[in-house]
Amino acid sequence: MKNPEGFYEALKLFKESARKVPAYKSFLKKRGINPERVRSYQDFKKIPATDKDNYLKAHGFFKLFPESKIPDMISASSGSSGKPFYWPRGIEQEEVGGKLHERIFRDIFGVKKNESALVIVCFSMGTWIAGTFTMSSARWLAKNGYKISVITPSIEKEDAVNILRDLAPLFGRVILAGYPPFLRDVIEEAKAQKVGISKLNLNLLFAGENFSEKYREIMHKISGVKDRFGGSASIYGTADAGAIGHETPVSVFIRKTASKNKKFAELIGLNSFVPSIVQYDPKQVFFEMPDGEMLFTTRSGIPLIRYNIHDTGMIISHKEMEMFLKKAGIFDQASKLGFEKWKMPFIFLGSRSDVATTFYALNIYPENIKAGLENKDVYKFVSGKFIAYTRLFRSGRDQKLFIEVELARGVELSQNLITKIRQSIFDNLTKLNMEYRKLHRSIGVKALPVIILIQFGDPKFVVKKGKHKWSKKS
């Protein structure tokens, strides 16, 4: 049996970690694994997976590093407990990040080495990884021949708008990087202040959250980005491992097609939900997907072997995707977008594990609600942000689904608008969520969401630190 692409790099990292990383040496010994006997992929698959609980938290912090030497840059992430875990990274990881950003800037956005470019980093610049990692990647490009300057307004919206107005027009290219809902806030604010966004040679770089192709179209429209497939790109990254993969014009084309063509979606293994689709370098990150849960092996600041971050997804090789595209009769279109140039596997990220709220024991996902707010008759009236939650009534016998929706700037609250938004959300819930559809058939009007419209700029909708919270506890 042929070993998967990237396996030898993963095996090499495994052997090194078994020799040099005290915690991993202990992890294997405790489970009776002899590293010398791991030679093939069949052997590798039998190695127990690591995760935060059984590996990272079970060993002393310094024992997680080769020869107990900690790298020189540290970020933090918070899990469900809210207690942060600290993730160091070194020069090697930052070079990998620089090369990944170079692929995006050069091969997708078309940035040339002799072109002045301004990278505006609108990710949080605190202990979160996205801001500092994007900044260091942009600076790596500047050190390697690109005329790139980077500025970091972080999540200060007023600073970002000032930069777009006063500094950005001086550059031949502008790359606005940030969390999708916050970038929409920045662009809408800039437009309200009559900043000439559409006159900039602008590209959008996203990370931190899944969004729909309809949302991409909205972002392109309001910012004046013309290229449907290469005008923006999203990075899939984690604090654990840095930037892992990214969208390409080909992956965006596949996603757009799957969103509109049910037969093609079914052909590549999707149903009504079309997840984020990215491509990745298997020599940098070796992915496995046993039972639909994502394991990765990568040389991050803390070497991670068969590490489970409890995300779900699906892998399709480049060759398999070629077969699917040909079968669907759309290979020629993918070829024009560089299918052969982007010769990397595809990973479909099952981000629906992020539940907005639970209603009558079924899961309502953020994407289900977002779709209703992205409807062509609705999106102009709202900012795109919402907060979902449920409340119990009649001693717990009944529940109500509440959705607080932030209005767009200058939009006045009205009963007519409430009705329109509720109908749009309901239509998309019944279309996208089979469990909700069954619930509505069972309990009728009790399943209808209660929509509460909130004026633009309310503090509860201000993006703080990393991400907007799409739900709150009941």
pLDDT digits (tens, 9 = 90+) for 10-39: 999 999 999 999 999 999 999 999 999 999
pLDDT at 293: 83
Average pLDDT score, the chain: 91
Full domain range(s) for residue 412: 357-461
Across 210-217, average pLDDT:
91
Residue 269 CA: distances (Å) to CA of 1, 292, 297, 314, 384: 24, 12, 25, 9, 29
Q: What DSSP element (H or E) covers 428?
A: helix 415-432
Token pair belonging to 122: 């609108």
Report how far apart the first and last C-alpha atoms of the chain are (Å, whole number): 51
pLDDT confidence bin for 76, thresholds 50/70/90: confident
- For the beta carbon of residue 262, count every other beta carbon within 10 angstroms: 12
3-class secondary structure, 160: helix
Separation between Cα atoms, residue 470 and residue 467, nearest integer Å: 9
Q: What is the pLDDT of residue 40?
A: 94
What's the pLDDT score for residue 462? 84
Residue 156 and residue 184 in one domain: yes
Q: What percent of the chain has pLDDT over 90?
A: 73
Q: Quick one: which H or E segment has residue 101? A: helix 91-102
Last residue within a domain, chosen from 353, 383, 398:
353
H-assigned helices in 309-404:
318-328, 331-336, 366-373
- Looking at the fold, whether 239 and 252 belong to one and the same domain comes out as yes
> CA–CA separation, 421 vs 452, rounded Å?
10
Q: Is residue 401 part of a domain?
A: yes
Residue 294 · residue 307 · CB < 8 Å: no
What sign for the dihedral angle of Cα 235, 100, 282, 232?
A: positive
Q: Are residues 295 and 370 in the same domain?
A: no
Q: Write down the pLDDT at residue 471.
A: 81
- The 10s digit of each residue's pLDDT in 404-428 is 999 999 999 999 999 999 999 999 9
Same structural domain, 309 and 425: no
Residues 302 and 386 in one domain: no
Cα dihedral sign for 453, 185, 78, 285? positive
- Name the residue with higher pLDDT: 10 or 294: 10
201-216 average pLDDT score: 92
Q: Which two tokens stand for residue 37?
A: 């006997």
DSSP class of 50: B
pLDDT at residue 192 greater than cutoff 60:
yes
Structural contact between residues 253 and 333, judged by C-beta atoms closer than 8 angstroms: yes
Question: Is the separation of the CB atoms in 109 and 140 below 8 Å?
Answer: no
In a domain, 265, yes or no: yes
DSSP structure class, residue 417? H
Of 353, 382, 403, the residue that ends a domain is 353
Query: Could you tell me if residue 325 is inside a domain?
Result: yes
Task: Copy the structure tokens of residue 317.
Answer: 């090789």
CA distances from residue 384 to 183, 214, 375 in whole angstroms, order as listed: 11, 12, 11
**CA–CA separation, 421 and 380 (whole Å):** 11
Distances (CA, A) of 414 to 150, 452, 455: 43, 11, 11
Q: At what angle do helices 213-223 and 180-192 cross, to 10 degrees?
A: 30
Question: What per-residue confidence (pLDDT) applies to 353?
Answer: 46
Q: Are residues 374 and 305 in the same domain?
A: no
Residue scoring higher pLDDT (162 or 459): 162
pLDDT band at 106 (very low <50, low <70, confident <90, very high): very high
What percent of the chain is modeled with pLDDT above 70?
Answer: 95
pLDDT category, 124, cuts 50, 70, 90? confident
What is the reported pLDDT for 173? 98
DSSP 323: H
The reported pLDDT for the residue numbered 208 is 84
Model confidence at 312, in pLDDT bands (50, 70, 90)?
confident
| pLDDT score of 79 | 56
3-state class percentages of the chain: helix first, strand second, coil last, to nearest 5: 45, 25, 35
Give exposure, 29-41, as e/b (b: 16+ Cβ within 10 Å).
Answer: eeeeeebeebeeb
pLDDT of residue 474: 60
State the amino acid at position 432 in one-letter form. Answer: L
- Average confidence (pLDDT) over 447-473: 85
Domain boundary among 353, 388, 423: 353
Residue 10 in domain:
no
Residues 262 and 400 both lie in one domain: no
Position 466 scores a pLDDT of 62
CATH (domain of 431): 3.30.300.30
The pLDDT confidence band at residue 81, using thresholds 50, 70 and 90, is: very low
pLDDT value of residue 290: 86
CB atoms under 10 Å from CB of 394, counted, come to 7
- Residue 354 to residue 376: CA distance in whole angstroms: 25
pLDDT at 80: 47
- pLDDT above 90 for 291: no
Interval 360-374 mean pLDDT: 86
Identify whether 67 is part of a domain.
Answer: no
As a whole number, mean pLDDT of residues 347-375 equals 79
The helix/strand/coil state of 388 is strand
Mean per-residue pLDDT, 171-179? 97
Nearest residue to 345 (alpha-carbon basis) of 317, 319, 323? 317
Query: Per the domain annotation, does 160 fall within a domain?
Result: yes
216 in the same domain as 362: no
Same structural domain, 275 and 315: yes
**Residue 161: CATH number of its domain:** 3.40.50.12780
Instruction: Say whether both 407 and 273 belong to one domain.
Output: no
- Tell me how far apart the alpha carbons of residues 26 and 230 are, in angstroms, rounded to a whole number: 46
Average pLDDT over residues 58-74: 94
User: Per-residue pLDDT for 337 more than 60?
Assistant: yes
Assess whether pLDDT exceeds 70 at residue 354.
no
- The rounded distance, in Å, linking the Cα atoms of 146 and 116 is 8
Q: For the segment 399-410, what is each residue's pLDDT rounded down to a tens digit?
A: 899 999 999 999
The CA distance from 187 to 163, in Å, is 12
Contact 196, 173 (CB under 8 A): no
pLDDT at 78: 63
Do residues 348 and 386 both lie within one domain? no
Same domain assignment for residues 128 and 251? yes
Q: For tokens 């050069």, name the residue.
A: 106
The contacts of residue 74 (CB under 8 Å, 6+ apart) are 86, 87, 88, 89, 127
Q: Flag whether pLDDT at 48 surpasses 90.
A: yes
Residue 440 lies in a domain: yes
**Mean local confidence (pLDDT), 104-125:** 96
pLDDT confidence bin for 6, thresholds 50/70/90? very high
Total domains in the fold of the chain: 2
| Residues with Cβ within 8 Å of residue 271, at least 6 apart in sequence | 265
Does some domain include residue 457?
yes
Q: Which residue has the higher pLDDT, 438 or 206?
A: 206
Length of the chain: 474
**Which of 13-22, 276-285, 288-297 shows the lowest per-residue confidence on average (mean pLDDT)?**
288-297
Query: How far apart are the C-alpha atoms of 343 and 380, rounded to whole Å?
Result: 38
CA–CA dist 95, 41 (Å, integer): 28
